[in-house]
């Protein structure tokens, strides 16, 4: 019987939830500092698996002009063309999403990952600082005069009000390589995933501050433009640390843009340890 020709990497779309767990395991093996949980299903998002040693995804980015593309190949399987095969599938999908650019987040400590992106036309456009904080016996901070605080768990109706009052402004003020694509619906779908750890600050009847909590990760922390520089962001994060201590959370992580000096100073003041950055890389979709 003649030898069968090599068909190349076997790529398939992620299907049942077990595939998402496999995706997470492959991603962590390929990029140990990456998010350990399974990816979310989102409209327009393509998730691929290859021979149980590689995975990739493409979907609309948080940048209004970009499609996020991520390729992960376990170290022992690199150099065999798997990454390129996945990349080609992602680019084909990206062309259907109506945006001109590709966007990827790459670990600065992965020279292979950086080279892979550069060889495909992506260039660094920014850096994201990762800050981690081990949680111990965290005290509740003393109240701020004139400021009342409630959680989203206590008042779920406040999430939309926060967006209208200060959330949209908070996103507009985030330094970014291009316009952010966050909408009210995105906010309602993504923010305050842990409502007990998401805090809203009032001065009288006015919303003046917000600190959101995702799964073991800070969401947006923002303060009304009129109230910045008064220690409110630090106070809200102290409230989150006290909540994390009482909830048995072992560690929190915060991500900020590399040029967002005010929030980095808040994190450093609160004892967060700065990790190597994540590179934000962007380039045109090949035609």
What's the pLDDT score for residue 16? 92
Q: Are 59 and 181 in contact (CB under 8 A)?
A: no
pLDDT per position as a tens digit, 110-123 = 999 999 999 999 99
**For helices 261-269 and 232-247, what crossing angle results, to 10°?**
50
Q: What is the DSSP letter of 217?
A: B
What tens digit of pLDDT does each residue of 166-186 get? 999 988 887 776 667 788 998
Q: What is the mean pLDDT of the chain?
A: 92
Cα radius of gyration (the chain): 21
Domains and CATH numbers, the chain: 11-121 (3.40.630.30), 133-274 (3.40.630.30)
Whether pTM exceeds 0.85: no
Averaged pLDDT for residues 52-75: 95
3-state secondary structure 176-214: CCCCECCCHHHHHHHCCCCHHHCEEEEECCEEEEEEEEC
């Amino acid at each position: 019987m003649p030898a069968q020709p090599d068909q190349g990497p076997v790529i398939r779309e992620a299907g049942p939830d077990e595939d998402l767990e496999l995706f997470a395991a492959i991603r962590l093996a390929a990029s140990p500092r990456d998010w350990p949980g399974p990816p979310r299903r989102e409209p327009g998002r393509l998730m691929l698996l290859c021979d149980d040693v590689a995975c990739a995804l493409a979907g609309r980015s948080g940048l209004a002009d970009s499609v996020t593309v991520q390729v992960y190949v376990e170290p022992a399987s690199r150099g065999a063309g798997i990454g390129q095969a996945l990349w080609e599938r992602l680019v084909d999908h990206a062309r259907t999403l109506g945006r001109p650019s590709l966007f990827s987040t790459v670990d600065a400590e992965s020279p292979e990952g950086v080279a892979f992106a550069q060889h495909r036309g992506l260039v660094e456009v920014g850096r994201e600082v990762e800050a981690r904080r081990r949680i111990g016996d965290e005290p509740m901070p003393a109240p701020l005069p004139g400021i009342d605080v409630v959680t989203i768990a206590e008042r779920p109706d406040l999430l939309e009000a926060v967006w209208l009052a200060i959330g949209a402004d908070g996103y507009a003020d985030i330094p970014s390589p291009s316009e952010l694509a966050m909408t009210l619906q995105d906010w309602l779908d993504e923010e305050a995933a842990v409502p007990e750890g998401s805090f809203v600050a009032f001065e009288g009847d006015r919303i003046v501050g917000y600190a959101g909590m995702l799964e073991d990760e800070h969401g947006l922390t923002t303060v009304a433009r009129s109230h910045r520089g008064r220690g409110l962001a630090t106070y809200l994060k102290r409230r989150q640390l006290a909540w994390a201590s009482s909830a048995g959370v072992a560690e929190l992580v915060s991500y900020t843009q590399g040029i967002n000096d005010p929030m980095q100073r808040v994190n450093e003041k609160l004892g967060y340890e700065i990790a190597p950055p994540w590179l934000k890389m962007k380039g045109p979709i090949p035609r």
